[in-house]
Amino acid sequence: MKNHLHFKIVFLIYAVALFINIGSFGVVESSDARYAEIAREMFVSGDLTHPNLLDVHHYHKPPLTYQITALGYKLFGVNPFGARFFLQIAILLQLVLVYLLTKLLFKNNQTALWAMIIYLSYPIVLVSSRNLTTDAFLATFALWSIYSWVKYRKSGIIFYLYSFTVCLGLGFLTKGPVIFIVPVVFILFFNRIEKSKISFNIHHVLAWLLFLGIATSWFVYLSIQNTNFINYFLGRQTADRFSKNVFGRTEPFWYFMAFGPLVALPWFILTLYLIKDQIKLFSRKSLYNALLIGCLVPLIFFSISSSKRILYILPVFSLMAVLTAQLFSKISIEKSKIVYKILIGFLLVLVLAFSATLFINIEFIVPKSLGIISIFMIPFIFLIYKTKRINSKLKSMHLTVAISILLLIGSGVVLSTNQLKVNSPKPVTDFILGKKLNDRKIIVYNTMKPSIAFGLNKSIISLNDGNSDLAREIQFEKDLNWKKYLIDMNNETELQYLKQILSEPTVLLLYKKPLPQNLEWMLSYYKNIKIMEKWAIYY
């Protein structure tokens, strides 16, 4: 890798593109805002083991994602850049690991670089870099564990055995048992190809003991404090997530089959073409077969599961990129022309779509600068098409890099200029800060908006008037302090507490819907109103 100049150049370009505008738009509801706010509360309180969401304990996930994000706040402050900083580091680590894994499996620098380029072109990877969740971190640890195991199996160096179990342990602290799905499936089939160079010994026992120590540390710590945590984690947060719609995330069985290909365009279509062209390579005990099964079996597993979100399948795409790059490296130059022509068509569609915003009005605001840049990319596409200095395989990689850069920078620009439309209420919190209203109690009616608490860097009061999202899990609360921040509008005692709060200057936020008629008396406490699209700000 030290001698691979192209890797360094592409990696640097991607690093700049990933970081260039991650702080230009506020946190987005719901997942991005939720994780950012939990990490903020962890950072403010200094309690790194008991996650809180809007001042109520929130044990839905292990704490590693929150802890990593809290470190971002320590380095850069409580802001969107700080929230997403380590997310970009995770993506960059994935790029390096895809490169190293491909090189390890197929011993070719160029194929390894192509795998890295293909991986970042997947829209799902771009989405994961802009949306703070556990998934990007989980994908990093899953990929790192796979690389470590392959390296251990090929070299027999014990260090990589420990690296393998440590990564699995960190993945477990990120999202629980789901860390095993992609690595275990691939490894089971890879082991049939690559025989172990070391027989079973004490290091295998110690490595797995190390995994157990890391993976169970947080769960054991909490269970010692309260034995009810054991049933909670094994039941509601593990078994029920798989078999029941406990968090309202159920989708039909075909969800990933339909949307998985869409978030992998354009290379998903090209991968099918490459597999069909070289189907003979997929023998029972081939590396190609292990990579393909490592993609397909997890997709089936996630399809069976009741809980579905598109980023759940992110770890699959690193193996897909490795497989695609290797297949692409083996295809003939003549057939590779089909690939680069499809890529030209895809890039041309993107460029024309951005360019068209200069001449037509659409709901989203697209800055003219993005349209102008897109127009100037048309000669670049034409030049790539006409040049004879490089072959069609290299042309395909140039086009793929261009697609990734355009999507990364373009998405950031569109998000930052349409924040309210994409459910990022940063303009709302900026208005409150600009009017110097942040010293008042902030009240949000009948909707859970951690983005408001994050944007103001303070606790807010949520009024629950029948919204199921505000029916919080309070069984692990040790006192009634949470009642200061979550008021039941159907409880007369809590309604009186609200009136006490309203007797002093406050800010009331309504989202989408006005107050019901029986609560319009609350508006008499306010003199001013500011309407911002779906938001109404009373102060």
User: Could you tell me if 10 and 109 are in contact, meaning their C-beta atoms sit under 8 angstroms apart?
Assistant: no
C-alpha pair distances (Å), 159 with each of 152, 216, 332, 369: 8, 22, 39, 50
Tell me what pLDDT residue 236 has.
67
Rounded Cα gap, residues 304 and 168, in angstroms: 23
Neighbour tally for 369: CB within 10 Å: 9
C-alpha pair distances (Å), 309 with each of 237, 334, 449: 15, 39, 20
Tell me what pLDDT residue 250 has.
73
Tell me what pLDDT residue 338 has.
94
Over the Cα atoms of the chain, what is R_g?
Answer: 25
Tell me what pLDDT residue 486 has.
97
pLDDT tens digit at each of 539 positions of the chain: 555 789 999 999 999 999 999 999 999 999 999 999 999 999 999 999 999 999 999 999 999 999 999 999 999 999 999 999 999 999 999 999 999 999 999 999 999 999 999 999 999 999 999 999 999 999 999 999 999 999 999 999 999 999 999 999 999 999 999 999 999 999 999 999 999 989 999 999 999 999 999 999 999 999 999 888 888 887 766 655 555 555 555 788 899 999 999 999 999 999 999 999 999 999 989 999 999 999 999 999 999 988 899 999 999 999 999 999 999 999 999 999 999 999 999 999 999 998 998 888 888 888 888 889 889 888 888 888 888 889 999 999 999 999 999 999 999 999 999 999 999 999 999 999 999 999 999 999 999 999 999 999 999 999 999 999 999 999 999 999 999 999 999 999 999 999 999 999 999 999 999 999 999 999 999 999 999 999 999 99
Q: How far is CA 122 from the centre of its chain?
A: 13
Per DSSP, the three-state class of 197 is coil
Neighbour tally for 126: CB within 10 Å: 22
Tell me what pLDDT residue 440 has.
98
Rounded Cα gap, residues 522 and 217, in angstroms: 47
Tell me what pLDDT residue 367 has.
85
Rounded Cα gap, residues 447 and 390, in angstroms: 56
User: Could you tell me if 460 and 443 are in contact, meaning their C-beta atoms sit under 8 angstroms apart?
Assistant: yes
Residue for token digits 């029916």?
471
- Check the CA dihedral 125-381-350-334 and report its sign: negative
Tell me what pLDDT residue 298 has.
96
Residue for token digits 């209203």?
437
User: Could you tell me if 282 and 193 are in contact, meaning their C-beta atoms sit under 8 angstroms apart?
Assistant: no
Neighbour tally for 54: CB within 10 Å: 24
User: Helix 123-130 crosses helix 135-155 at what angle (to 10 degrees)?
Assistant: 120
The angle at the Cα of 395, spanning 391 to 398, to the nearest 5 degrees, equals 145
User: Structure tokens of 223?
Assistant: 């269970």
C-alpha pair distances (Å), 509 with each of 55, 461, 463, 526: 18, 10, 10, 11
Domain boundaries, the chain: 5-23+79-247+277-322, 333-417, 426-538
Tell me what pLDDT residue 91 has.
98
Tell me what pLDDT residue 233 has.
82
Tell me what pLDDT residue 248 has.
57
User: Structure tokens of 371?
Assistant: 């349209």
> How does DSSP classify residue 537?
E
Q: Where are the alpha helices (DSSP H) in 176-263?
A: 181-190, 202-225, 228-231, 240-243, 255-262
C-alpha pair distances (Å), 35 with each of 31, 387, 436, 521: 6, 47, 26, 35
DSSP states along 29-94? TTHHHHHHHHHHHHHHH--SSS-EETTEE--SS-SHHHHHHHHHHHHH-SSHHHHHHHHHHHHHHH
Give the contacts of 493 (CB within 8 A, at least 6 positions apart): none
Per DSSP, the three-state class of 510 is strand
- Check the CA dihedral 51-53-54-57 and report its sign: negative
Partners of residue 53 on adjacent β-strands: 56
User: Could you tell me if 307 and 237 are in contact, meaning their C-beta atoms sit under 8 angstroms apart?
Assistant: no
Which has the closest alpha carbon to 265: 360, 127, 467, 471?
127
User: Could you tell me if 94 and 77 are in contact, meaning their C-beta atoms sit under 8 angstroms apart?
Assistant: no
User: Structure tokens of 404?
Assistant: 């990734």
Tell me what pLDDT residue 48 has.
96
Tell me what pLDDT residue 237 has.
63
Tell me what pLDDT residue 135 has.
97
